[in-house]
Amino acid sequence: MIGSNGFTRLSGRDAVKLGVWLFACLLWIAGPQVKAQDGQRQVPNAPGTNLADASQQGTTAPTPQPQQGQQLGNGNPSPSSLKLPNLLRNVSPGEGAPPPSTSTSSAPASADQTSTTPAQPQAPLANGPAPVIPPTGEGPSVATYTMRTRVNFVLVPVTVKDSHGAILPGLTYNNFQVYEDGVQQRITFFSEDPFPLSVAFVIDQDLPSDTMKKVNDALSAFQGAFAPYDEVSVYTYATHVSQASGFTGAQSARLSATLDRVKSPGRYMEVPSNTGPMAEGPSINGHMIDPNVTPTHDGTFIGIIPKENYVLNDAILRAATDLSQRGRGRRKMIYVISDGKNQGSTASYKEVVRYLLTNQIAVDGTLVGDSALPVYGFLDRFHIPWQMADNLLPKYVSATGGILDAELSRNAIEASFARVAGQVRNQYTLGYYSHISVLDSRFRKIEVRVLLPNVTVIAKQGYYPTATANQ
């Protein structure tokens, strides 16, 4: 209906239609703007896609790469690149997404992704995988690590000298080969760092008086051969074995006092008297009081013939028994200063050597007296049946892989302390797992080879296995 003022009056139904039409036009105009704002709106990450969730799962979330025609807002992809059905698949409430599959049958990565798998080091070919090598300067001497091994693990200290007799440093495990009963073993542990030492110092007090005086004067230099973290126990022997002190610090005042206390006058070299008032010695009812006085076979006179006892075997066994109780992180050695004579010992040489090799104890020492003479000392090593063992010390040293010096003068004896201790401290340590079961208790021969010309290799000849775990 048209009024007089020129405007058209619409009915109620026409007004509703016009409003709906205008609202539709507004929606059509505002639609692109709403869609553009949605493209810039931030959408929270699904579980397992942000850095916090990834740190809880132990992995790092991958950074999304922008695609052509898309922009990343604050490090998050646009809604068009998220596939919510895939993100929510296999997600358990409260547990998050499962870890990504590591199957080798998965599809190859795209060209724009970078592989994060580290390169694997190649194992050396000589002995298989590389052995455990402690960092230089952080070896056993400062006790920065604990090594736990199985019961068939074998440690072999090795001394390597050049053609001039000097210690050869700077070798690696690739320079060594270890054979047990003729079968090459794979080296699984290697160290050139010094171990702390547990030392049993054994002093022969039945030396001739002139030799004993040289030894007494040289004892003051013994402490200087060892480090503060070493420990020393002192033993003496003649006709029996005595422990002068338990294990104490190598630089302690207690050890100094002990070394002063054990000084002995030695044995006087007297000629037996077969005539005169002192020939027979004191007696009661016709029986000699002194058991060392023995009648001769012809019965014409009584000769004063002293019985000699040098219980070297018992002394080494007593020291080894105490050393076996010390900590396994220490290198155990018995340092003997003696002429090597043995007679009257309860323990036999074979029994003592077996105990030493079973407990990984080395015998080192300084040979003094007439046994230190080049020719005479060499002949002493050959035992005459039913006679006193003149020089057993070199045999102990050779069997256990120790080091021996033969010296005559006081200054040479003092120098030998530092020389022997220095060679022990600069040993290489090799370790391997034996291919033979520990239930087989038979002796196993060890041979260590160094792949260099004109070198001398000093190591123990073998060992007896035990069922005791090493740490």
For residue 71, pLDDT over 70 is answered with no
pLDDT band for position 242 (cuts 50, 70, 90): very high
- Of 334, 333, 398, 413, nearest to 367 (Cα)? 413
Higher pLDDT, 428 or 148: 428
pLDDT band for position 275 (cuts 50, 70, 90): low
**Mean pLDDT along residues 58-66:** 45
Q: What is the pLDDT, as a whole number, of residue 418?
A: 93
Highest mean predicted confidence (pLDDT) among 9-13, 78-82, 338-342:
338-342
Give CATH 2.60.40 domain extents, the chain.
Answer: 135-194+426-471
pLDDT band for position 262 (cuts 50, 70, 90): very high
Partners of 447 in the β-ladder: 179
For residue 269, pLDDT over 80 is answered with no
**Mean pLDDT along residues 90-94:** 49
Q: What is the pLDDT, as a whole number, of residue 98?
A: 52
Give CATH 3.40.50.410 domain extents, the chain.
Answer: 196-269+312-424
The β-bridge relationship of strands 153-161 and 241-249 is: unpaired
For residue 14, pLDDT over 90 is answered with no
pLDDT band for position 302 (cuts 50, 70, 90): very low
Alpha-carbon distance of 165 to 153, in angstroms, equals 31
Least confident range from 30-44, 164-178, 229-243, 317-331: namely: 30-44
User: Using DSSP, how many helices (H) and how many strands (E) does the chain show?
Assistant: 10, 18
pLDDT band for position 155 (cuts 50, 70, 90): very high
For residue 306, pLDDT over 80 is answered with no
For residue 309, pLDDT over 70 is answered with yes
Higher pLDDT, 43 or 185: 185
Highest mean predicted confidence (pLDDT) among 120-124, 371-375, 445-449:
445-449
For residue 415, pLDDT over 60 is answered with yes
**Mean pLDDT along residues 92-106:** 47
Task: Tell me which architecture the domain covering 196-269+312-424 has in CATH.
Answer: 3-Layer(aba) Sandwich (3.40)
Angle between helices 393-400 and 349-358 (to 10 degrees): 30
- What is the average pLDDT value for the chain, to the nearest integer? 75
Question: What 3-state DSSP class applies to 400?
Answer: helix
Helix, strand, coil content of the chain in percent (nearest 5): 30, 25, 50
Q: What is the pLDDT, as a whole number, of residue 25?
A: 77
Percent of the chain with pLDDT over 70: 59
For residue 457, pLDDT over 90 is answered with yes
Long-range interactions of 458-462: CB distance < 8 A, separation 24+: 458/158, 458/159, 458/160, 458/161, 458/401, 458/403, 459/156, 459/157, 459/158, 459/159, 459/401, 460/156, 460/157, 460/357, 460/362, 460/399, 460/400, 460/401, 461/398, 461/399, 461/400, 461/401, 462/357
Task: Tell me which architecture the domain covering 135-194+426-471 has in CATH.
Answer: Sandwich (2.60)
Type of residue at 14:
D
For residue 355, pLDDT over 90 is answered with yes
**Mean pLDDT along residues 184-197:** 93
User: What's the length of the chain?
Assistant: 471
Percent of the chain with pLDDT over 90: 46
**Mean pLDDT along residues 28-36:** 63
Alpha-carbon distance of 361 to 206, in angstroms, equals 25
Higher pLDDT, 406 or 298: 406
Least confident range from 104-113, 258-267, 407-416, 446-455: namely: 104-113
